[in-house]
Amino acid sequence: MFLSLSIICLTVAVLLAQVNKMTAKPIAEAKAMKLQNAIKEVVPAFDNDPVAEAYKMSVAKGDSLLVYPAKKGEEVVGYALNSTSNNGFGGEIQIMIGFDMENRIINYTVLQHAETPGLGSKMAEWFKNEEKPSQSVIGRDLSQGTLTVSKDGGTVDAITASTITSRAFLEAVNKAYLAYSGSKEDARSGVTEKKVAESSSDKSVEVKKEENSHE
C-alpha cells in the first residue's frame, strides 16, 4: 500500500510539473498582452515599446510605481502609470492611468479589484462618464490640485453608496500623478535617460561577470 501511494503521488507530481511547464508561457504571454492593451487604452498613439522602456519612480518612502513612457519618435507624448491603493472596501485596487504632457488625465482602466459587484465595481466606468463632469476624472488637470471626493470637500462625485472605494480610487490617481510629475522633471533634466542607461550598463556588467564565472 505504501509503495502504491508513493507511485501515485510521484505520478501526480510529475503530471502537475508538466502541466505547469506547458501553461507558463501562454500565461506569461496573456499577461504581457493585457499590459500592452492597458497602456494603449490610456495614452496617445506611440511607436516605441513602453514596457521595454519602463522604470520605477518613487512616490513615498518605500513605495514606487512603474512608469511607461509613450513616445512618437524621440518625443514623449504621454505616460502610463501602474498605480495602486490598499484602502479599497475589498482591499487592493490596481489601475493603469495615462497622462498627457499638460498634467491632464487621458484615460484609465481598472486592472484589479475586489470591490462589491454593482457598487464599488462601478469605478471601471463611473469616473470616465464625460456626460457628468462632476464625477469624471478624464481631462482633469492635476497641477491645479489633487482629487478628492465631494464629501471631503473635493470636486469629484463619489460612486453612490461606495465612498470608500471612491476615495481609494482617487488615492491611486493622486499617487500616479506624483510619479508622473517626477518623470516629467527627470525627463527635462535627463535623469530618467541616465537611470535607464545605468540600468542597462549594470545588466551588461552582471552578464559579463556571470560569463567570467562560468569560464
Reported as a single tens digit per residue, the pLDDT across 98-127 is: 999 999 999 999 999 999 999 999 999 999
Reported as a single tens digit per residue, the pLDDT across 176-194 is: 999 999 988 877 776 554 4
Residue type, 73: G
Residue 212: what pLDDT?
43
- Centre a 10 Å sphere on the Cβ of residue 171 and count the other Cβ atoms it contains: 20
Residue 24: what pLDDT?
67
State the residue for C-alpha cell 481609494: 168
State the residue for C-alpha cell 507558463: 24
Question: How far is the C-alpha of 200 from the C-alpha of 184, rounded, in Å?
Answer: 21
Which cell goes with 27?
500565461
Residue 190: what pLDDT?
66
Question: Is the pLDDT at 214 greater than 80, yes or no?
Answer: no
Question: How far is the C-alpha of 123 from the C-alpha of 109, rounded, in Å?
Answer: 9
Reported as a single tens digit per residue, the pLDDT across 130-178 is: 899 999 999 999 999 999 999 999 999 999 999 999 999 999 999 999 9
3-state secondary structure of 204: helix
Across 8-27, average pLDDT: 75
Question: How far is the C-alpha of 22 from the C-alpha of 201, rounded, in Å?
Answer: 34
Reported as a single tens digit per residue, the pLDDT across 38-89 is: 999 999 999 999 999 999 999 887 889 999 999 999 999 999 999 999 999 9
Question: Is the pLDDT at 196 greater than 70, yes or no?
Answer: no
Residue 211: what pLDDT?
40
Going through 89-211 in order, the beta strands assigned E by DSSP cover 91-99, 105-112
Sheet holding 75-88, edge to edge: 55-60, 63-72, 75-88, 91-99, 105-112
Reported as a single tens digit per residue, the pLDDT across 131-141 is: 999 999 999 99
Question: How far is the C-alpha of 160 from the C-alpha of 67, rounded, in Å?
Answer: 31
